[in-house]
C-alpha cells in the first residue's frame, strides 16, 4: 500500500543518465539481486517444497518405522479418514484455532486500547503482557499443569479462600480439556497481539481522532468507527501469525495434557508426531502431514493473493 | 557481505566437524535412564567400561517412556549416523533388525555362554534371525499392587488378592478418607492398569489370546467386555487430580499415605526405596489382584548398531559383556526395582519383593503364566499397541462409552497394521 | 494517539480507576505462572509439599538455583544445565546472525530491486513459515547425513537458518517496502551498486526491524526443543534438551524447586531480551513490519 512510487521500472530498464558510468558492471548489477536471492530460493525449493514432495511420496507408501518405498496408492489416506482419532484431532484444531485467534484478537485489541490511554507504568505493564511470548511450554508446562490441576491449582486455591463449591476441573473432563489449551495459548500469544495493535495505534494520525472528537463522537464509537478500520492491516498480520501458531501447536499439548484425557486434546501436529515417530506408522503420519499442509495452503493462498494484489494496485 | 557470510558458515562447519569426530574405542549410548537412581546405577556401567579403557559418550534423552529417545534414534538412523548402542526393547528389536541396522553380538554371547545363562524367553527377544543383537539389562514385573499398610489398617482391610477384594477394599479405604487407588491419567498408565485387571479377572491364557496373539474373537468377546467393565470400575477408586500426573507422583501419594494402593510395575519400588522405606514393613507389595500365578514382563535391553570402526566394534562387545556382569546387574537392578536378567545371581542383597519376583518369574516360566506386557511394548508392534492405547484410554475417560463398543474398537485396533 | 480526557469529573476519575483496575487484573493473569515458578524455585522441598502454590516462601533459599546450574543430573552427568546453556548460545548466535543477514538482503532485493517474478519468489518463500517442524524431521535428518553434518552444531545452525529466513525475509521486506524509493533511485543514478546502496542507505535506518528480527529469531531458536533433541550429539545438546532431561525423571524424589530453577535459568536469556528490548520491539513493529 505504501510503495506507490514507480519503482518497478528502475531495475528492469537501467537506462538512466547514470548507467553509462557504471556500464561495465551494469549487467552484473541487474543480476545481483537475483543472485542474492538465489540461495534462499534454492533453500526454499529444497527444504520446503522438496521435503513436502518427499512427504507426499511417503504418504503413498506402507512405510513403518523408517521410510520404505512400497507403494500402496492412497490407502493411507483411506485409513486416515477411517481413523476416529484423526477426526477428533481435526475438530479440535478447528475449535482451538478459531477460539484462540478470536480471543487473542479481542484481548489484544482491548488491552492495546486501554494501554493507549496515557497510562503510568505503561512500559512495565507492556512487558508483563508481552513476556509469555518469550517462554516456550517446555519451560512453563509444569506450572500450567499445576495451575489447571483441580487438586493443586486454581480450584484448590479458590476453594481455600472459602468458596467451597468453586469448580475448575476442565483438564480432567474430556469435553472441556481442549478449552484449557485455549487458555494457556491465549496467555502466551495475546500479549504479542497487544503489541501489534499498540504499534498500529501509535501509527495512527492523531488528527483523525481529534476531528471525530470535535464532531462529538463518544470514545468507544471513535475506536469502533474510526480507529479500527485503520488497523485492518494489523488484524491481518495478527491473524496470520496466530494461525501459524495454532497450526504448529505441539509443545502446548505435550506439556499440558499429553493429548489426554484419552485423546480428547489431540491436535493434527501431535497426531502426526505420534504416528510417524512413536507408533512406527510413517506412511499414515505422512498422509496426515499432507492434509495439514493442505489446511495451511487454504489459509495462506488468500493471504498471498491479497498481498500480491495490494502491491499491484499500490 | 556475501563472502563474509560464506566464511562464517564454512568456519562454523569446520569447527563442528572437528568437534564431533569420535575417538576410537568409544561407545555412544542413547538411553533414557535419566532419573537419579537409574543414572547412578547406569554410571556403574560407565565406570566398568572406563576401567577397561573404553570411552563412554552419554546421550541421554528423557521423556515419555523413551518416546523422545526413539524419535532421536530414528533421526540419527536416517542420517546414517546411529549411536553405537541404544535402549531398544521387545518386538522393536526385530524391526530394527529387519532394517539391517543392527550388528551381532555372537562372539561375546558365545564366549560368555548366553544360551545357558539367559532364560529362554529373555534370550528369544535379544535375537534377530538367530543372532544376538541386543543384551538384556533387567526384567521388570508389571503386574504388581503396592500399598501403604497404615492406610489399609485405618480402613480395616487386608491386602486384596482378587479383583472383588480390591473393589471392596477400595470402598473401605475411601470411607476412611483416603484415595483408594493412586493413578496418573496418561495413556500408558491407563493401559498398565487395564492389562493387570484383565489378567486378574480373565487369566493368563485369555491375556495371551487377546493381547499377544490379537485373536479377534477374544478381543471382541464376552471376556473382553467383562475385563473392560472391571477396568472402568477402577476409575471410581481414583481421584480427580490424576490428569496427566506422572506415575511417580502417584507412588508418592501411597508413600505419604494420602492414597492406599497403586497398580504399577516394579519400578515403583525405586520410589519406596528412595524414600527410605522397607518392603513388607513400611510398604506392601503383592501380585496384582488375581494374578499371583502370572507374570507380565518388561525387559530393558541395549541393542548394538552395526559399526565399521574396529575399535568401536570391540567397545560394543565389551559393553555387552559388562552389562551382564554381576556388579552391574546387582547395582542397576537394586536401583531400578527390577530383577537381574540372569537368574544365577545371589539375591540376598535384594528385598523380599524382588525375591518373590524372581521366584514367580521362574515358576511362571516353567508352569505357564509368563506373558509379555502389552502396555510396555513387549507384546505387539508399536502401531497395534498405539491403537489399543487409544481405545483403552478413550474408553476409560469417556463416561458414556459402553464396554461392548470398546471391545469392537479393540478388534479394529488390532487390525491397524493392515499393510 | 493521545486522548483528551483531561477534565477530572468524578465520572472520569471513576473511569480512570476502572481502567487501571482492568489493566492490573490482566497483569496478574499474565504474571501468575512466572510468580509461581519463581516462588517455587526458592522454596525448600518441605515447604513445597506443605504449602499451596501461592504461599510465600518462609525460608527462601538460592540452593535450588545453584543445584540446577551446577549439580543437577541430566542423564549420567551431574553437572547441571550450565554447560548446555553455552551450547545453546553457540547455536543461537550464529543462526540468528546468519538468518537476519540473509533476511535483510532478501528483503532489500525484493523491494528495491524488483524484477519480474520477485513477488512470486516472496510468496514461495513465505510458505516456509507455516511448515510444522515435525513434518520435516526425517527428511532433514537424511539431508544432514548427506551433507555430513548430522549431529553437529553446524547441522543445527543450518536447520535454524533454513527455517528462519522465511520469517526474517518477511520482516525485512515489509519494513523496506515502507522506505521511500527516491533515495535508492537517486543513488542508483549516481552509480552506486547493490551492496553500496544497502550499506549506505538501507542499513542505517534498519535498526528497528533488526531488533524485531533478532528478538524473534533468538526466541524461536532458543526455545526450540524438537530440532535440538533430534539433530544434536551428546556434546552439543541445547539447554531445552537438558531441561527436559532434568525435569522428566522417572524415579527418585522429584525436586520441584530445582526443576523450576532450571526452567527459570533456561528461560532467562529470552526473558532478559524481552524485558530489555521489548520497547524497541514494539517500536520496530510500529515502524512497519506489521503493515500488510
Taking CB atoms and an 8 Å limit, are B241 and A79 in contact across chains? no
Provide the residue ranges of all domains of chain C, joining segments of one domain with +. 3-61, 82-289
- Beta strands at B284-287 and B144-147: parallel, antiparallel or unpaired: antiparallel
* DSSP letters spanning B45-110: HHHHHHHTT-EEEEEE--SGGGHHHHHHHHHHHHTT---SEEE--THHHHHHHHTT-BPP-HHHHH
**Stretch (H or E) spanning B140:** strand B134-141
pLDDT in tens, C214-262: 999 999 999 999 899 888 887 888 999 888 888 876 555 678 888 899 9
User: Is residue B24's pLDDT more than 80?
Assistant: no
The better pLDDT of the pair B1, C94 is held by: C94
Q: What is the mean pLDDT of chain B?
A: 88
Buried b / exposed e along C22-48 (16+ C-beta atoms within 10 A)? ebeebbeebbbbbebbebbbbbeeebb
- For position A6, what pLDDT does the model report? 33
pLDDT in tens, B131-185: 999 999 999 999 999 999 999 999 999 999 999 999 999 999 999 999 999 999 8
Partners of B375 on chain A (C-beta within 8 Å) are none
Q: Distance from B410 to chain A by nearest Cα, in Å?
A: 13
C-alpha cell at B22: 569420535
pLDDT in tens, B310-367: 889 999 999 999 999 999 999 899 888 899 999 888 899 899 999 999 999 999 999 9
Residues B380, B386: Cα–Cα separation, whole Å: 10
Q: With contact defined as beta carbons under 8 Å apart, do A280 and B382 qualify?
A: yes
ipTM, 2 dp? 0.85
Taking CB atoms and an 8 Å limit, are A260 and B244 in contact across chains? yes
- For position B3, what pLDDT does the model report? 42
Q: Which residue of A has its CA nearest to C120?
A: A308
pLDDT-derived band of residue B58, with 50, 70 and 90 as boundaries? Answer: confident
Q: With contact defined as beta carbons under 8 Å apart, do B377 and B89 qualify?
A: yes
A110: CB partners within 8 A, 6+ apart: none
Q: Which of A151, A174, A256 sits opposite B239 (nearest CB)?
A: A151
Q: Which of C32, C134, C177 sits opposite A3 (nearest CB)?
A: C177
CA angle C126, A5, C208 (to 5 degrees): 55
User: Is residue A202's pLDDT more than 90?
Assistant: no
Q: Distance from A120 to chain B by nearest Cα, in Å?
A: 41
- For position B4, what pLDDT does the model report? 42
Residues B202, B293: Cα–Cα separation, whole Å: 12
Residues C22, C42: Cα–Cα separation, whole Å: 30
Q: Is the peptide bond before B287 cis (omega within 30 degrees of 0)?
A: no
> A167-176, B125-134, B288-297, C139-148: lowest mean pLDDT where?
A167-176
Residues B79, C139: Cα–Cα separation, whole Å: 9
A29 lies within 8 A of chain C by CB = yes
Give Cα A283 to chain centroid, integer Å. 27
- For position A165, what pLDDT does the model report? 87
Taking CB atoms and an 8 Å limit, are A263 and B394 in contact across chains? yes
Q: With contact defined as beta carbons under 8 Å apart, do B157 and B169 qualify?
A: yes
Taking CB atoms and an 8 Å limit, are C285 and A199 in contact across chains? yes
Helix, strand counts (H, E) of chain C? 13, 0
Q: With contact defined as beta carbons under 8 Å apart, do B289 and B311 qualify?
A: no
Residues A115, C83: Cα–Cα separation, whole Å: 41
Q: Distance from C230 to chain B by nearest Cα, in Å?
A: 5
pLDDT in tens, B238-284: 998 887 788 888 998 999 999 999 999 998 888 888 788 999 999 99
- For position A9, what pLDDT does the model report? 34
Taking CB atoms and an 8 Å limit, are A310 and C292 in contact across chains? yes
- For position A15, what pLDDT does the model report? 38
C-alpha cell at B88: 531398544
Partners of C200 on chain B (C-beta within 8 Å) are none
Q: With contact defined as beta carbons under 8 Å apart, do A72 and A158 qualify?
A: no
B359 lies within 8 A of chain C by CB = no
> Is the alpha carbon torsion for A303, A306, A312, A314 positive or negative?
negative
- Beta strands at B259-263 and B179-182: parallel, antiparallel or unpaired: parallel
pLDDT in tens, C126-144: 888 888 888 898 899 999 9
pLDDT in tens, C46-96: 887 777 777 888 888 888 899 889 888 776 777 788 889 899 999 999 999
C-alpha cell at B231: 477396568
Taking CB atoms and an 8 Å limit, are C150 and B62 in contact across chains? no
Enumerate long-range contacts of C182-187, CB under 8 Å, 24 or more apart.
Answer: C182/A5, C184/A7, C184/A10, C184/C112, C185/A7, C185/A10
Taking CB atoms and an 8 Å limit, are A8 and C189 in contact across chains? no
Q: Which residue of B has its CA nearest to A167?
A: B240
Residue B18's CB is within 10 A of a number of other CB atoms, namely 9
pLDDT-derived band of residue A310, with 50, 70 and 90 as boundaries? Answer: low
- Helix, coil or strand: residue B316: helix
Q: What is the mean pLDDT of chain C?
A: 86
C15 lies within 8 A of chain A by CB = no
* DSSP letters spanning B330-399: HHHHHHHS-EESSTTS--TTS-HHHHHHHHHHHHHHHHS-EEE-TTTTSSS-HHHHHHHHHHHHHHHH-T
Q: Which residue has the cell 543513488?
A: C187
For chain A, the distance separating the N- and C-terminal CA atoms, rounded to the nearest angstrom, is: 5
Taking CB atoms and an 8 Å limit, are C230 and B71 in contact across chains? yes
pLDDT-derived band of residue A200, with 50, 70 and 90 as boundaries? Answer: confident
CA atoms within 13 A on the CB side of C272: 7
Mutation pick from A11, A136, A158 vs chain C, by most beta carbons of C within 10 Å, is A136
In percent, how much of chain B has pLDDT > 70? 92
| Average pLDDT estimate for A239-254 | 87
Residues B70, A141: Cα–Cα separation, whole Å: 22
- For position C286, what pLDDT does the model report? 66
Taking CB atoms and an 8 Å limit, are A277 and B77 in contact across chains? no
CATH class of this structure's domain C82-289 = mainly alpha
Torsion angles phi and psi, residue A183, rounded to 5: -60, -50
Residues B392, C48: Cα–Cα separation, whole Å: 34
pLDDT in tens, C169-207: 988 988 888 888 888 889 888 888 889 999 999 999 898
- For position B17, what pLDDT does the model report? 39
For chain C, give the longest Cα–Cα distance: 75
User: Is residue C291's pLDDT more than 50?
Assistant: no
Give Cα A312 to chain centroid, integer Å. 26
Residues B119, B57: Cα–Cα separation, whole Å: 30
B285: CB partners within 8 A, 6+ apart: B144, B145, B146, B147, B266, B269, B279, B352, B353, B356
Residues B6, A117: Cα–Cα separation, whole Å: 49
User: Is residue A16's pLDDT more than 90?
Assistant: no
User: Is residue B48's pLDDT more than 60?
Assistant: yes
* DSSP letters spanning A125-168: HHHHHHGGGGS-HHHHHHHHHHHH-TTTSHHHHHHHTT-TT---
Residues A277, A274: Cα–Cα separation, whole Å: 6
Residues A169, A182: Cα–Cα separation, whole Å: 15
pLDDT-derived band of residue A260, with 50, 70 and 90 as boundaries? Answer: confident
> A21-25, A76-80, A160-164, B68-72: lowest mean pLDDT where?
A21-25
Among chain B, residues having any CB pair with chain A shorter than 8 Å are 2, 64, 67, 70-71, 74, 77-78, 92, 95-96, 99, 185-187, 239-245, 381-383, 385-387, 390, 393-398, 416, 418-419
Q: Where do the H-state alpha helices sit in C51-151?
A: 63-70, 82-112, 118-126, 133-147
- For position A3, what pLDDT does the model report? 35
Q: Which of B37, B42, B72 sits opposite C252 (nearest CB)?
A: B37
C-alpha cell at B280: 513388607
* DSSP letters spanning B195-258: HHHHHHHHHHHHHIIIIIS--HHHHHSHHHHHHHHHHHHHHTTS-GGGBT--HHHHHHHHHHTS
pLDDT-derived band of residue A102, with 50, 70 and 90 as boundaries? Answer: very high
Taking CB atoms and an 8 Å limit, are A300 and C126 in contact across chains? yes
C-alpha cell at B266: 516394579
pLDDT-derived band of residue B15, with 50, 70 and 90 as boundaries? Answer: very low
| Average pLDDT estimate for A64-92 | 90
Q: With contact defined as beta carbons under 8 Å apart, do C192 and A32 qualify?
A: no
Amino acid at each position: 500500500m505504501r510503495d506507490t512510487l514507480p519503482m518497478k521500472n528502475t531495475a528492469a530498464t537501467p537506462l538512466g543518465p547514470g548507467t553509462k558510468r557504471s556500464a561495465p558492471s551494469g549487467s552484473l548489477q541487474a543480476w545481483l539481486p537475483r543472485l542474492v536471492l538465489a540461495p534462499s530460493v534454492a533453500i526454499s525449493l529444497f527444504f520446503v517444497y522438496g521435503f513436502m514432495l518427499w512427504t507426499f511420496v511417503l504418504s503413498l507408501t506402507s512405510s513403518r518405522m523408517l521410510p520404505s518405498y512400497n507403494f500402496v496408492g492412497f490407502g493411507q489416506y483411506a485409513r486416515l479418514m477411517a481413523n476416529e482419532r484423526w477426526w477428533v484431532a481435526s475438530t479440535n484444531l478447528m475449535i482451538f484455532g478459531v477460539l484462540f485467534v478470536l480471543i487473542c484478537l479481542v484481548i489484544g485489541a482491548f488491552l492495546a486500547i486501554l494501554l493507549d490511554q496515557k497510562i503510568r507504568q505503561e512500559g512495565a505493564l507492556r512487558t508483563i503482557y508481552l513476556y509469555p511470548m518469550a517462554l516456550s511450554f517446555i519451560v512453563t508446562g509444569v506450572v500450567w499443569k499445576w495451575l489447571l490441576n483441580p487438586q493443586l491449582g486454581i480450584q484448590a486455591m479458590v476453594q481455600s479462600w472459602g468458596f467451597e463449591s468453586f469448580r475448575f476441573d476442565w483438564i480432567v473432563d474430556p469435553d472441556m480439556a481442549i478449552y484449557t489449551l485455549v487458555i494457556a495459548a491465549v496467555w502466551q500469544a495475546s500479549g504479542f497481539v497487544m503489541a501489534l495493535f499498540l504499534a498500529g495505534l501509535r501509527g495512527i494520525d492523531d488528527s483523525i481522532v481529534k476531528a471525530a472528537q470535535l464532531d462529538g463522537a463518544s470514545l468507544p464509537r471513535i475506536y469502533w468507527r474510526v480507529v479500527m478500520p485503520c488497523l485492518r492491516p494489523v488484524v491481518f498480520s495478527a491473524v496470520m501469525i496466530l494461525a501459524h501458531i495454532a497450526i504448529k501447536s505441539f509443545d502446548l499439548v505435550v506439556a499440558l495434557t499429553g493429548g489426554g484425557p484419552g485423546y480428547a486434546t489431540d491436535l493434527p501436529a501431535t497426531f502426526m508426531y505420534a504416528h510417524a515417530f512413536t507408533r512406527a506408522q510413517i506412511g499414515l503420519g505422512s498422509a496426515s502431514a499432507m492434509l495439514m499442509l493442505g489446511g495451511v495452503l487454504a489459509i495462506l493462498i488468500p493471504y498471498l493473493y491479497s498481498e500480491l494484489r495490494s502491491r499491484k494496485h499500490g | 557481505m556475501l563472502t563474509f557470510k560464506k566464511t562464517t558458515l564454512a568456519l562454523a562447519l569446520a569447527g563442528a566437524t572437528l568437534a564431533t569426530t569420535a575417538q576410537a574405542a568409544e561407545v555412544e549410548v542413547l538411553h533414557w535412564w535419566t532419573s537419579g537412581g537409574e543414572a547412578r546405577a547406569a554410571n556403574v556401567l560407565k565406570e566398568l567400561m572406563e576401567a577397561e579403557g573404553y570411552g563412554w559418550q552419554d546421550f541421554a534423552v528423557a521423556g515419555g517412556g523413551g518416546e523422545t529417545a526413539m524419535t532421536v534414534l530414528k533421526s540419527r538412523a536416517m542420517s546414517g549416523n546411529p549411536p553405537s548402542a541404544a535402549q531398544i526393547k521387545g518386538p522393536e528389536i526385530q524391526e530394527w533388525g529387519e532394517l539391517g541396522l543392527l550388528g551381532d553380538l555372537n562372539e561375546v554371547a558365545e564366549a560368555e555362554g548366553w544360551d545357558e545363562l539367559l532364560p529362554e524367553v529373555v534370550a528369544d527377544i535379544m535375537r534377530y534371525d538367530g543372532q544376538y543383537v541386543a543384551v538384556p539389562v533387567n526384567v521388570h514385573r508389571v503386574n504388581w499392587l503396592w500399598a501403604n499398610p497404615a492406610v489399609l489398617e485405618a480402613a480395616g482391610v487386608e491386602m486384596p488378592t482378587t479383583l472383588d477384594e480390591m473393589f471392596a477394599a477400595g470402598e473401605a479405604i475411601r470411607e476412611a478418607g483416603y484415595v483408594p487407588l493412586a493413578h496418573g491419567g496418561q495413556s500408558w498408565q491407563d493401559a498398565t492398569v487395564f492389562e493387570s485387571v484383565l489378567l486378574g479377572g480373565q487369566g493368563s491364557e485369555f491375556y495371551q489370546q487377546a493381547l499377544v496373539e490379537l485373536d479377534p474373537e477374544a478381543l471382541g468377546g464376552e471376556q473382553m467386555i467383562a475385563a473392560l467393565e472391571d477396568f472402568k470400575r477402577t476409575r471410581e477408586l481414583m481421584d480427580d487430580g490424576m490428569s496427566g500426573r506422572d506415575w511417580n507422583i502417584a507412588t508418592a501419594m501411597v508413600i505419604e499415605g494420602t492414597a492406599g494402593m497403586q497398580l504399577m510395575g516394579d519400578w515403583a519400588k525405586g520410589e519406596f526405596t528412595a524414600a527410605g522405606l522397607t518392603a513388607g514393613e513400611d510398604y506392601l507389595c503383592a501380585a496384582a489382584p488375581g494374578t499371583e500365578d502370572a507374570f507380565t514382563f518388561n525387559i530393558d535391553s541395549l541393542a548394538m548398531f552395526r559399526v565399521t570402526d574396529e575399535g568401536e566394534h570391540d567397545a560394543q562387545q565389551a559393553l555387552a559383556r559388562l552389562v551382564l556382569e554381576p556388579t552391574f546387574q546387582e547395582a542397576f537392578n537394586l536401583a531400578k526395582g527390577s530383577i537381574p536378567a540372569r537368574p544365577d545371581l545371589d539375591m540376598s542383597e535384594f528385598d523380599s519383593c524382588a525375591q518373590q519376583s524372581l521366584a514367580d518369574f521362574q515358576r511362571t516360566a516353567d508352569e505357564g503364566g509368563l506373558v509379555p506386557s502389552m502396555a510396555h511394548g513387549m507384546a505387539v508392534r508399536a502401531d497395534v499397541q498405539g491403537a489399543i492405547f487409544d481405545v483403552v484410554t478413550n474408553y476409560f475417560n469417556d463416561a458414556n462409552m459402553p464396554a461392548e463398543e470398546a471391545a469392537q474398537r479393540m478388534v479394529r485396533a488390532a487390525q491397524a497394521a493392515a499393510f | 494517539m493521545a486522548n483528551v480526557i483531561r477534565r477530572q469529573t468524578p465520572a472520569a476519575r471513576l473511569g480512570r480507576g476502572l481502567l487501571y483496575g482492568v489493566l492490573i487484573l490482566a497483569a496478574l493473569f499474565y504474571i501468575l505462572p512466572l510468580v509461581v515458578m519463581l516462588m517455587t524455585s526458592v522454596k525448600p522441598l518441605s515447604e513445597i509439599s506443605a504449602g499451596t502454590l501461592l504461599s510465600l516462601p518462609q525460608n527462601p533459599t538460592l540452593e535450588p538455583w545453584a543445584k540446577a546450574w551446577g549439580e543437577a543430573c541430566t542423564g549420567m552427568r551431574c553437572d547441571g544445565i550450565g554447560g548446555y546453556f553455552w551450547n545453546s548460545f553457540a547455536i543461537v548466535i550464529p543462526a540468528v546472525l546468519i538468518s537476519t543477514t540473509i533476511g535483510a538482503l532478501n528483503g532489500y532485493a525484493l523491494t528495491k530491486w524488483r524484477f519480474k517474478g520477485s513477488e512470486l519468489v516472496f510468496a514461495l518463500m513465505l510458505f516456509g513459515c507455516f511448515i510444522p517442524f515435525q513434518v520435516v524431521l526425517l527428511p532433514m535428518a537424511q539431508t544432514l547425513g548427506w551433507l555430513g553434518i548430522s549431529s553437529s552444531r553446524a547441522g543445527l545452525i543450518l536447520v535454524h537458518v533454513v527455517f528462519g529466513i522465511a520469517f526474517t525475509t518477511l520482516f525485512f521486506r515489509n519494513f523496506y517496502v515502507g522506505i521511500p524509493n527516491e533515495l535508492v533511485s537517486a543513488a542508483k543514478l549516481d552509480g552506486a551498486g547493490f551492496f553500496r546502496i544497502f550499506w549506505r542507505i538501507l542499513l542505517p535506518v534498519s535498526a528497528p526491524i533488526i531488533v524485531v528480527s533478532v528478538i524473534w529469531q533468538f526466541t524461536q531458536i532458543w526455545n526450540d526443543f524438537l530440532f535440538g533433541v533430534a539433530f544434536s550429539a551428546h556434546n552439543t545438546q541445547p539447554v531445552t534438551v537438558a531441561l527436559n532431561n532434568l525435569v522428566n525423571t522417572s524415579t527418585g524424589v522429584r525436586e520441584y524447586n530445582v526443576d523450576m530453577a532450571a526452567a527459570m535459568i533456561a528461560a532467562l536469556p529470552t526473558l532478559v531480551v524481552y524485558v530489555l528490548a521489548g520497547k524497541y520491539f514494539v517500536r520496530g513493529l510500529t515502524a512497519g513490519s506489521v503493515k500488510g
